[in-house]
A and B are shown apart, each in its own frame.
Chain A
């Protein structure tokens, strides 16, 4: 505070001296009272300096009344449920052949399938096991993997039978390179620990991620996009045809111009398709890439 006052008083004598001759009827001032024998100084406070001080005080009041940080347009932070980011395996496959429960009794596969001989396999909708969606590329045959005569076993290409707990061996017959990568940890998913020697380390098997009958990984719903402006304009603002709307970092004319083309960046060639809830699809101008690729 002392420094500010000293600065003010350093300015004011200059202002005073510039207009000293205009005021003849001067009155004794503070300096004179303090130093009676000092050189006389014009005690007038010129109108300009007074107004400057009033203006300064008004400005100071304005700054104090304003919040210290500008109001940033923050979109509501989306809430991500803990279940959506819970680690774990995608599927919980059977390790044993299934048991069918009919009334009070449970039956294994062979208890029915040994009674009648299977018809030659045909392509087409299944009469039984209709919950199975068979979408395994070229491999659209039951008996490529299931044994025709022992339904509780899986069959390899050489005719030998394996149990339901040796699925990777079965898959590796066709997917050799993937099996090679999986063995070395390059394909597939591990859980628990990055350290292979740790007892917590778990390596998931083929059918713990892939459905054996429809192995392609299905599309899933993505979690919310980021809100920050530094990654370009968020989608909820790009919808409004104003790429810079609400962006405090944008120059002022962007706000004035709105979305009339002046605000469009150079990256319009790569268009981004935005989806509306009413089903209308439109092509919005590309978001700005400043900072996006740093």
Chain B
């Protein structure tokens, strides 16, 4: 039999040589040539190796054009170490990237906290009717991904008589709200004064600002999701896919630390609309609330609504025992529940008023 692939002479001579070789256990032959099995082995190893390489690299196929970071993005410094020139360059790059991707020229700035302002939020659970306007106003304001869906605020429909969050339902779907047997508990980032998410971040991509807002630098985040696991309120969201924002729905009013478009693989969260609130405007969720259940303001100002609420109402926070010291307070009005589903009271007195 001829096992040789490389043939120098006629088959007969090879055969005889083969036999000779076999007879003296010819492992010391020095002739050039390659055994068929060796060739097969090498080829199979090569194919296998290449296939394994392709398999290992296959996630790269998911990358879109422009998904690779630019060199300046790679060399960018941490937010706190950036000089004004560095920040101007970073903003110019973001402007360029947003314009390339969304065909909208954004108004992006780096807005610093205001001196003497510390934000706090208060939410009146007697007034919230669970209409979810805050959820969707937040999505529109902050350029969250529509698919897959990312929402900072979740509204829990809670049975009356309990504050056990495990009994809440996110997916209530009623013809009209509110329902008489439930109350509604919106939950978003509580901007804790003792934030566990900041402690666990291995790269300091998230930190607490002087005005109390916990922010994320999307260019510094490595997407390890430790902060998501650490948050007791499930306030952080992860971009599993590149965010999809419908055409024309991009909000061009942006700030570096708030609502600029996020890449895939970074965390994001509520930031009290800092691009609005640091310029005196209301957060989008408060502005849109139809019942005025949401109150936002400067807790250092004793005349502000949140200060009045903290002083006079019986406020509480979620999971107080977690020791997170939230800046987000809930309260009920004195007369609660106002509406128990019964008939409205009717006048049963005399037919006519004395002076009416």
A positions within 8 Å CB-CB of B = 1, 4-5, 8-9, 12, 25-30, 32-33, 36-37, 40, 43-45, 50, 53-54, 56-57, 59-61, 63-64, 68-69, 72, 74, 77, 80, 82, 84-87, 90, 120-123, 135, 137-138, 140-144, 148, 177, 181, 184-196, 198, 200, 204, 209, 216-217, 219-228, 230-235, 238, 267, 270, 272, 274-275, 286-287, 289, 291-294
Contact = CB atoms under 8 A, between A and B. Distances in A.
Contacts of B347: 123, 138, 140
B52 A4 contact: yes
B167 interface: yes
B58 interface: yes
A191 B355 CA distance: 40
A43 B37 contact: yes
B352 A292 contact: no
Contact of A148 (B28, B58, B351, B356): B356
Chain B interface category by residue count? 35 or more
Given A56-B48, A194-B277, A267-B166, A235 B171 contact: yes
Contact of B140 (A85, A228, A292): A85
Nearest to A217: B291
Interface stretch (B83-91, B100-108, B306-314): B306-314
Interface stretch (B67-75, B173-181, B195-203, B216-224): B173-181
Contacts of A68: 58-59, 61-62
Interface of B: 3, 22, 26-38, 40-42, 44-55, 58-59, 61-62, 124, 129-133, 135-137, 139-140, 146-149, 151, 154, 156, 159, 164-178, 231-234, 241, 277, 280-282, 284, 286-292, 295-298, 301, 303-305, 308-309, 312-313, 333-334, 339, 344-347, 351-353, 355-356
A84 B136 contact: yes
B147 A232 contact: no
A66 B123 CA distance: 47
B132 A45 contact: no
Contacts, number: 287
Contacts of A43: 35, 37-38, 41
Given A1-B50, A194-B282, A234-B171, 20 more contacts: A28-B26, A56-B51, A56-B52, A60-B52, A77-B149, A85-B288, A87-B137, A90-B290, A120-B356, A121-B356, A123-B351, A143-B355, A143-B356, A185-B295, A186-B305, A189-B292, A217-B291, A221-B176, A224-B136, A275-B175
Contacts of A224: 132, 136
Contact of B169 (A185, A200, A272): A272
28 contacts: A1-B50, A4-B52, A30-B41, A43-B38, A53-B48, A63-B58, A82-B140, A137-B344, A138-B346, A142-B356, A185-B304, A186-B124, A186-B312, A189-B292, A192-B281, A193-B280, A193-B281, A194-B277, A209-B292, A228-B149, A235-B173, A274-B173, A275-B175, A292-B166, A292-B168, A292-B170, A293-B164, A293-B166
Contacts of B344: 135, 137, 216
Contacts of B172: 222, 225, 272
Contacts of A204: 292
| A-B CB proximity, top 9 nearest | A185-B305, A189-B292, A40-B27, A60-B51, A293-B165, A219-B176, A231-B170, A27-B35, A223-B132
Contacts of A222: 130-132, 172-174, 176-177
B149 A32 contact: no
- The residue in B44, B296, B312 that gathers the most chain A C-beta atoms within 10 A of its C-beta is B44
A226 B147 contact: no
B45 A64 contact: no
Given A28-B29, A63-B55, A185 B171 contact: no
Contact of B41 (A45, A138, A198, A232): A45
Contact of A194 (B44, B304, B309): B304
Contacts of A232: 169-171
B234 to A, nearest CB: 4
A59 B58 CA distance: 13
Contact of A220 (B22, B131, B296): B131
A40 B165 contact: no
- The residue in B124, B133, B165, B277 that gathers the most chain A C-beta atoms within 10 A of its C-beta is B133
Nearest to A55: B48
A57 to B, nearest CB: 5
A280 B233 CA distance: 36
A97 B68 CA distance: 65
A184 B272 CA distance: 22
A193 B296 CA distance: 10
A32 B308 CA distance: 90
Nearest to A44: B37
Nearest to B289: A189
B309 A231 contact: no
Contacts of A221: 131, 175-177
Contacts of B164: 293
A204 B282 CA distance: 15
A212 to B, nearest CB: 16
Given A44-B37, A189-B292, A292-B168, A270 B159 contact: yes
A141 B356 contact: yes
A244 B131 CA distance: 27
A275 B149 contact: no
B90 to A, nearest CB: 29
A188 B280 CA distance: 19
Contacts of A121: 352-353, 356
A82 to B, nearest CB: 7
B348 to A, nearest CB: 9
Contacts of A8: 45, 48-49
Contacts of B284: 87
Contacts of B55: 59-60, 63-64
